[in-house]
Amino acid sequence: MKKIAVFTSGGDAPGMNACIRAVVRTAIFHGIEVYGITYGYDGMIAGNIKKMQSHSVSNIIQRGGTILKSARSEEFMTKEGRKKAYDQLKALEIDGIVAIGGDGTFTGAKVFFEEFGIPTVGCPGTIDNDIYGTDYTIGFDTAVNTALEAIDKIRDTAAAHDRIFFVEVMGRDSGYIAVECGIGGGAEFVMVPETETDLKKVVKSLKNLRKSKSSSIIVVAEGDEEGNAEVIMDQVKNKVNDEDKEFKVTTLGHIQRGGNPTARDRVLASRCGMAAVDGLISGQSNCMAGVVNGDVIYTSFEDCIGKTKPIKGDHLKLIEILSI
The 10s digit of each residue's pLDDT in 99-110 is 999 999 999 999
Pairing of strands 287-292, 120-124: parallel
Catalytic residue ranges = 128
Is the predicted pLDDT of residue 244 greater than 80, yes or no?
Answer: no
| 221 is annotated as contributing to ligand binding | no
Q: Where in the chain is the domain with CATH 3.40.50.450?
A: 3-139+261-306
Of 31-35, 229-233, 309-313, the range with the lowest mean pLDDT is 309-313
Polymer length in residues for the chain: 324
The span from the CA of 220 to the CA of 229, in Å, is 6
| 249 is annotated as contributing to ligand binding | no
Q: Where in the chain is the domain with CATH 3.40.50.460?
A: 143-257
Q: To the nearest whole number, what is the mean pLDDT of the chain?
A: 95
Helix H or strand E encompassing 73: none
| 163 is annotated as contributing to ligand binding | yes
Is the predicted pLDDT of residue 210 greater than 80, yes or no?
Answer: no
Strands in 170-313 per DSSP E: 189-191, 216-221, 246-251, 287-292, 295-300
| 73 is annotated as contributing to ligand binding | yes
Is the predicted pLDDT of residue 55 greater than 80, yes or no?
Answer: yes
Q: What's the CATH code, domain 3-139+261-306?
A: 3.40.50.450
> What's the confidence (pLDDT) of residue 114?
97
Class of domain 143-257: alpha beta
- What pLDDT, in 10s, does the model give residues 263-305? 999 999 999 999 999 999 999 999 999 999 999 999 999 999 9
| 214 is annotated as contributing to ligand binding | yes
